[in-house]
Amino acid sequence: MKIAVVGTGYVGLVTGTCFAETGNHVTCVDIDEKKVNKLQQGIITIYEPGLEVLFERNIRQKRLEFTTSLKEGIKGADVIFLALPTPPGEDGSADLKYILKVADDLGSILEQYAVIVDKSTVPVGTAEKVTQAISKNAKVEFDVVSNPEFLREGVAVDDFMKPDRVVIGTESVKAKKIMETLYAPLVRQGNPVIFMDEKSAELTKYAANSFLATKITFMNEIANLCERLGANVDMVRKGIGTDTRIGKRFLFAGIGYGGSCFPKDVQALAKSSKDVNYDFKILESVMAVNTRQKTRLIDHLKGYFKNELEGKTIAMWGLAFKPYTDDIREAPALYNINALLELGAKVRVYDPEAMENVKEVIGDKVTYCEDEYETLEGTDALMIMTEWPVFRTPEFKIIKEKLSSPLILDGRNLYEPEQMKEEGFTYFSIGR
């Protein structure tokens, strides 16, 4: 099949590369000339384990191409994916300006029937709006389909190539057939393609992300309660996760969820609910608890140093919002860096992949270090923000030698509290 992917960011690049890998001819379109230039030279623009080898192979085999021209990119395409940004607008709702701009343009340049697919996370009613925008100038038939994406950064290739399920919202028989054929190689494992109406598909995406954010938040609350009651959240997690109705995944307490999606999608669903006069109480609590959770380590640090953080230097391990990505959007680390700087502390940071991205946002307000041990030079405490494997089994002796006070604040529960006590640390983790 001939596929066009409009928007070659995270989702666009994974979508384009994976569909090329399953034998389609894919042209990815982006307005960012620099990005397209790099991609045309075979330079990958995101860090995603396992993607580069597929990307290089499909470019070599001329199944994957890049352009800045929408007209050229969609020429002859059977399916056109819109993988465009939907950032939060001022009121928290998803901003549809990128999607609707492309939809407007598509109307006049479509030369033959195509299935236009909303791959971006978009509120209920967007497929209808996209249809109207294209219809204004369209001279040919087309269908608009909702096909939300459920991939996670860091394991995006696996999530895309072996999806738990594929959700497709359409009532068009023609579009359904085309989408079925396109996804057939990806659902051979027997996982379902679930067809439904467009609105239900759009809401499914927000429901999934909001449910997962709620699950994490619930565990963060249980963790906070554990600290007050003397229980251990790891034990409680194991105790409840073995109930198959609850499941083991997404039960890890920490310093709050981050990333480019959970925060914005929970906020957008809350706003959509308000717009139809529905007070979605759980979502309001989830957002409030998550904001509070991000301050947990700082609160403890302030307590330890009796609010005297002026002139203290803090080492920070991990900047990305989670491991195996260089993505720092809504990363708890950024929140904590800013809070430390405001309190007059200095910060020394290390992350295996995300430092360049942090430099772009924070500049030289913090010191960037070559590795985890260099961050510890002349510092008063260590904060752990991301559970990269390299931080899991460090040389505690070296850490202790380098810190002026043996204080570790661990937002990801990497170490055993008992062992830390034996090693002579004051160790604060979440819910233990």
Ligand X SMILES: O=C(O)[C@H]1O[C@H](OP(=O)(O)OP(=O)(O)OC[C@H]2O[C@@H](n3ccc(=O)[nH]c3=O)[C@H](O)[C@@H]2O)[C@H](O)[C@@H](O)[C@@H]1O
Ligand Y SMILES: NC(=O)C1=CN([C@@H]2O[C@H](COP(=O)(O)OP(=O)(O)OC[C@H]3O[C@@H](n4cnc5c(N)ncnc54)[C@H](O)[C@@H]3O)[C@@H](O)[C@H]2O)C=CC1
Q: What are the catalytic residues?
A: 261
By beta-carbon proximity to ligand Y, the closer residue of 24 and 120 is 120
Is residue 296 packed enough to be buried (19+ CB in 10 Å), middle (13-18) or exposed (0-12)?
buried
The residue sitting closest to ligand X, measured at its beta carbon, is 261
Q: Is 96 in the site for ligand X (CB under 6 A)?
A: no
Q: How far is the CB of 182 from ligand X (least distance, A)?
A: 19
Binding ligand X (rule: CB under 6 A), the pick from 35, 322, 346, 432 is: 322
Distance between CA atoms of residues 130 and 198, nearest Å: 12
Helices (H), 46-189: 51-60, 70-74, 97-109, 126-135, 156-161, 173-183
Three-state DSSP class for 97? Answer: helix
Q: What angle do CA 333, 287, 229 make, to 5 degrees?
A: 80
Instruction: Decide: 310 and 302 in contact? Cβ < 8 Å.
Output: no
For residue 154, what are its two tokens? 């860091």
Residue owning tokens 């389609």: 24
* H or E element, residue 396: helix 396-402
Positions in 153-172 near ligand Y (CB under 6 A): 153
Q: What mask of x and - would describe binding to ligand X in positions 360 to 399, judged by CB under 6 A?
A: ----------------------------------------
Q: Is 147 in the site for ligand X (CB under 6 A)?
A: no
Positions in 230-269 near ligand Y (CB under 6 A): 260-261
Three-state DSSP class for 331? Answer: coil
> Residue 120 binds what, of ligand X, ligand Y, none (CB under 5 to 8 Å, by partner type)?
ligand Y
Q: Is 104 in the site for ligand Y (CB under 6 A)?
A: no
Q: Is 102 in the site for ligand Y (CB under 6 A)?
A: yes
Q: Is 212 in the site for ligand X (CB under 6 A)?
A: yes
Q: What is the DSSP letter of 209?
A: H
Q: Is 206 in the site for ligand X (CB under 6 A)?
A: no
By beta-carbon proximity to ligand Y, the closer residue of 34 and 62 is 34
Binding ligand Y (rule: CB under 6 A), the pick from 1, 2, 22, 32 is: 32
Q: Facing residues of 25 across strands?
A: 2
Q: Is 326 in the site for ligand X (CB under 6 A)?
A: no
Three-state DSSP class for 82? Answer: strand
For residue 247, what are its two tokens? 């499941």
Considering only the stretches 23-31, 164-172, 193-201, 222-230, report the one whose residues sit in contact with ligand Y under the rule CB under 6 A.
Answer: 23-31
Binding residues for ligand X, rule CB under 6 A, total 20
Residues near ligand Y (CB under 6 A): 6-12, 29-32, 35, 83-86, 98, 101-102, 120-121, 149, 151, 153, 260-261
